Amino acid sequence: MLRAFTARRIAAAAAYGGGGITALGGITFGLLVMEARLARRIISATPNGDPPVADGLYGEEHGGSPLSLVMLGDSTAAGLGVHTPEETPAALLANGLAAIAGRPVRVTNVARSGSRSHALRGQVDRALQARPDVAVIMIGANDVTARVPPAESVRHLGYAVERLRAADAMVVAGTCPDLGSVKSLMPPLRWFARRASRQLAAAQTVAVVEHGARSVSLGDLLGREFAADPLSMFSEDRYHPSARGYAAAAAAVLPSMASVLGLEHDPAGHLGEDVIPIYRAAVEAAERAGTEVSGASVGGRDRGPRGRWARLLRRRSPARDVPPAPAAPDPA
């Protein structure tokens, strides 16, 4: 209940222009700054360079007019950590969507490594030029590591979703991943990173749903799999996902993409769903990777005594059922 109250406070601060809440105190922050510097040196020890360019047409063999998919966000949306365009989340999602829709999918990726949520304003400007049918946003990790007030991050995300929806694009947002699953972060930094990540993810869910889109929790999607097979799920820098890690993320997001476009597809099935107040749904989603949250109504009303109604859809772990390697795209 406390975590739901925290998500409510962050969302309210975003709506009214406040700074929200912060996760760390002054003395603790001093210790964590030193640990963060060490983690940053470890992460940057194996530079990745620029992510592969995945823009282009996928699934051309299906024929018909292509769907327009745009990717927005940070290095995760850009695909940093892999070596070929086919391994990026944009390519994985485009090939999966093309197979479901029976139509080609044209990818425009405006995500940039290192982006924080404030960068979404410029990214949306570029994304709208592609007239997207569906937009996927993955952002939040850099906001946490830079200690951006969560209400500020959420305000930028909500505005981006609002603009995309006003242009008739369907929107799916992958919320902030659980940075506590990154093994280069040592306790107590890892513990605070987990708490801050989940607080932001819950608040992002509220903002996304309030603006007419759907959220998918990325949470600790790679955490459990990483513990069993760290060389497989993370790239050489031990921070960004590997090709298999991105495939797991794509498997989590793809069913929601298909659903918002009116395409029935959920190969992994789901474990159940509930219609509950948005703040409860947001917190529960942050705790379980792959969970989707969307708007709902009860008795013809979108809101109840505890705020907006939301549908919480629990899916099986996507990390164990990743999509196959895609074919290369034609040049954009």
Q: Which of 74, 75, 181, 220 is catalytic?
A: 75
Residue showing tokens 């969507």: 97
Q: Is 75 known to be catalytic? A: yes
Q: Please answer whether residues 161 and 206 qualify as being in contact, where contact means their C-beta atoms are separated by less than 8 angstroms.
A: no
Torsion angles phi and psi, residue 275, rounded to 5: -110, 115
Q: Which of 240, 242, 259, 294 is catalytic?
A: 240
CA–CA distance, 174 with 236 (Å, rounded to integer): 23
Tell me the CA distances in angstroms from 331 to 56, 108, 137, one per residue in order.
Answer: 5, 12, 23
Tally of CA atoms within 13 A in the half-sphere of 189 that contains its CB = 21
Residue showing tokens 């505890």: 306
CA–CA distance, 97 with 206 (Å, rounded to integer): 26
Cβ-Cβ contacts under 8 Å for 328 (sequence gap 6 or more)? 85, 86
Q: Is 321 known to be catalytic? A: no
The dihedral formed by the CA atoms of 177, 183, 184 and 188, expressed in degrees to the nearest 10: 80
Q: Which of 68, 83, 184, 237 is catalytic?
A: 237
Q: Please answer whether residues 228 and 325 qualify as being in contact, where contact means their C-beta atoms are separated by less than 8 angstroms.
A: no
Residue 257: is it exposed, middle or buried by C-beta count within 10 angstroms (0-12/13-18/19+)? buried
Q: Which amino acid is at 207?
A: A
Q: Is 259 known to be catalytic? A: no
Query: Strands 214-216 and 170-174: what pairing?
Result: parallel
CA–CA distance, 281 with 275 (Å, rounded to integer): 8
Q: Which active-site residues does the annotation give?
A: 75, 237, 240
